[in-house]
Structure 1
């Protein structure tokens, strides 16, 4: 073990005390508590967001938790207005919000919303009961009752337009994922069109209780949707659900965690650091967090990064275009 001279040890101790004092001073500007806007119970956003909030609260010793919301579109508004410190959103609604095209606030450019870290891709997938006879999108009958999730959610914003583009005629229904799953099982709905991280808790629960069909896009349908919507091709692995025997074709949008741009830089830095340096812990929250890694910051080309988040990425060798830092 190396022996230090008394003067050297004194200097080190003094430096450590000064550093501790600096950290304490920075921390004094932190909020006393925080909320994370998630989505409805039974969906991946709620599980991921609530688990992440609990992790950050424990890691940084700040009171915080997840809040049930209408999903990505509402979360953008909540964060912009300062009614939630953090939220979860999808790139489609985020682009609409910064351009003043949010359905919740037409004309208002939400410029107090900053990106923190990548979460996962949101696949758009369709589930029916096996005894419905619906095995493809073209099998969906005219006037089918389709549940699209909470009003103004990513699913409700984009999936109806996608199905209309594919010539599906339907009655639009909204609600939380757990409720819609129950309605499907009770015969009150014919189809549920999900946009959520996989595995979707409501679908996993459904397939334990009854036989379901998970409907994929055929190649022609896939090309039509990719040409007309801000999505990418995605494959749902067969291992995701016990119902699937092989990978299923789908489309997806990326999700990012967002923060109020006016939150203290040091606070957001520590939140980002804790999240990016503990992927195993994030995976224990939800396995979709396998892609909650810094390499995926490249999938945000819409929102400015919070300077606290950007500082962590740059310190760790990840480049961000200066134009994308608030």
Structure 2
């Protein structure tokens, strides 16, 4: 049954709420419920029944990564096929995982794409969310497996993770799953902050600077294969993806939820041998403050039953068989739970 038009609550949040993970400075006031990263308590909750469905926003990531183009297509598929009056969803470029969850917490976004591990941290106030527990979001389905790809080129002198010492390295935008994973990997390899020149930028910008010879390497938690890497190869650069050695991998798996993954040879034209790296899940989460059960049901149902409208290659992973990947430990959005139970996906 179609949902009727909602009315947006005005003034639900102060516009001065900011997230240091987005690279912005706070207003200098001491706030007891703000963690050292600048993530503040959202304050008064917005009623889900008051959301304006004609002005919904989906947080994606940087323009050179996987989230942004895939998120655009997810939004287009929902706008075309969802059975909700006045429904209109826009996809917006953001700092990705941490940024998206924090913006949902502040009612600035309604849906967000995220690596499942930062989402778990948000629930307990750990990692980038230290001191602020965020529980106003729910899992709405698996999107695709995220694969860490550490890219460099011939001529940089970088053959191993250890060789990144003293090099310029793009670790991903503030608030991204890439940056969190990159720091975990570098620390496991024995490199602390200051041992390398950290550049906080999106993967697309980073590969452009690698192409120009202005950057030595870049981390990217991305779909496989990735278009920016393919474009870097086409530019004539001799591209390499760094291997994570067994000892470093064992440390990563011990201290985090990332799991070992082997990038198959031939995944790119230049890749003649498999590469050992790590993986996690990209998932969709939705606000439980502004997306009620009925709307959440329609969004989840449409996302999985019309995934064939998504031409991006990572859309192939959005199937009912994969729907619960990355959900362990996360609250399920009531609307998604209703759909998953209806389909026998969630017993």
So what's the TM-score if we normalise by structure 1?
A: 0.84
Residues of 1 paired with 2:307 and 2:73: CA distance? 13
Gaps of 5+ in 2: 7-51
Q: 1:221 to 1:106 in 2, by over 3 A?
A: closer
Which residue is 2:159 aligned to? 135
The answer as to 2:195 corresponding to 1:167 is: no
- 307, 311, 324: which one pairs with 1:279? 307
- 75, 97, 101: which one pairs with 1:53? 75
Which residue is 1:316 aligned to? 343
Partner secondary structure for residue 155 of structure 2: helix
Residues of 2 paired with 1:120 and 1:146: CA distance? 26
The answer as to 2:141 corresponding to 1:117 is: yes
Which residue is 1:107 aligned to? 131
Residues of 1 paired with 2:265 and 2:298: CA distance? 37
What's the offset of the Cα at 1:256?
A: 0.8
Aligned residue runs from structure 1 range 35-50, under 5 A: 35-50=57-72
Residues of 2 paired with 1:260 and 1:299: CA distance? 17
Q: 1:170 to 1:310 in 2, by over 3 A?
A: same
Contact 2:225/2:267, CA 8 A, preserved across alignment: yes
- Bigger helix fraction: 1
- 202, 207, 223: which one pairs with 2:233? 207
Contact 1:118/1:294, CA 8 A, preserved across alignment: no
CA RMSD of the aligned region, Å?
Answer: 1.9
Number of equivalences: 293
Which residue is 1:64 aligned to? 89
Contact 1:214/1:243, CA 8 A, preserved across alignment: no
Contact 1:119/1:257, CA 8 A, preserved across alignment: yes
Aligned residue runs from structure 1 range 118-267, under 5 A: 118-138=142-162, 140-168=163-191, 169-209=195-235, 210-262=237-289, 263-267=291-295
What's the offset of the Cα at 1:311?
A: 0.8
Larger mean CA deviation between 66-75 and 51-60 belongs to: 51-60
Residues of 2 paired with 1:79 and 1:292: CA distance? 22
So what's the TM-score if we normalise by structure 2?
A: 0.79
Which residue is 2:45 aligned to? none
Contact 2:203/2:219, CA 8 A, preserved across alignment: no
Partner secondary structure for residue 132 of structure 1: coil
Residues of 2 paired with 1:258 and 1:179: CA distance? 26
Larger mean CA deviation between 262-271 and 41-50 belongs to: 262-271
**Bigger Rg, which one:** 1
Partner secondary structure for residue 131 of structure 1: coil
What's the offset of the Cα at 1:298?
A: 4.4
